[in-house]
Amino acid sequence: MSYPRELFEGAKGEVSGTLWKSGSAPDLKIGERSEVHYLATGASTGGQYGLYRWDMVGDPSGVPGAHFHKTMSESFFVLSGTVGLYDGDRWVDGDPGDFLFVPPGGIHAFTNPRGPASMLVLFSPGAPREAYFEELAEIVASGRQLTEQEWDDLYHHHDQYMV
């Protein structure tokens, strides 16, 4: 394996870092269950990756069902609480410091079985996941009911294939 092609062509570095402060308000709330912080979006990383802090603060009902992605990997790093992680074969309790990597095509799901929990979610390469999260938040907030076909269309538009 070798290093990828250069993405920066300058002879000297530049000041371009972005700091996210831990006390920042979430960028998105999905009902009373989840708060999402957009740490680094696919757009802000030039498509290299997307990184989100996902705080599960409410009832674990309505969690995402088992699914897979065709265009990206997804990784989970537990920060606090207990995160139920499905690796396509079995559910395991993820404790702070635990990590799950799911390659493209890998079946996975997550929940918070024992109360509030927080994790980092990494998508690589970066995809516009915020649009998916925001549409879910709108559906929950409005109470809009989708047909099975509408759910399938929404999922497929966002590279999510339910199992």
CB 42 within 8 A of CB 123: yes
Instruction: Parse the chain into domains and list their residue ranges.
Output: 28-162
Report the DSSP beta bridge partners of residue 36. Answer: 28, 54
What's residue 150's pLDDT?
Answer: 97
Rg (CA), the chain: 17
What's residue 63's pLDDT?
Answer: 67
CB 72 within 8 A of CB 123: yes
Tokens of 135: 């549409």
Q: Are strands 73-80 and 34-40 parallel, antiparallel or unpaired?
A: unpaired
The CATH number of domain 28-162 is 1.10.3720.10: no
Angle at 62 between CA 58 and CA 63, to 5 degrees: 80
- pLDDT per residue, tens digit, the chain (163 aa), is 999 999 999 999 999 999 999 999 999 999 999 999 999 999 999 999 999 999 999 777 666 799 999 999 999 999 999 999 999 999 999 999 999 999 999 999 999 988 999 999 999 999 999 999 999 999 999 999 999 999 999 999 999 999 9
Read off the amino acid at residue 150: E
For residue 156, give the H/E element and its range.
Answer: helix 148-157
What's residue 59's pLDDT?
Answer: 76
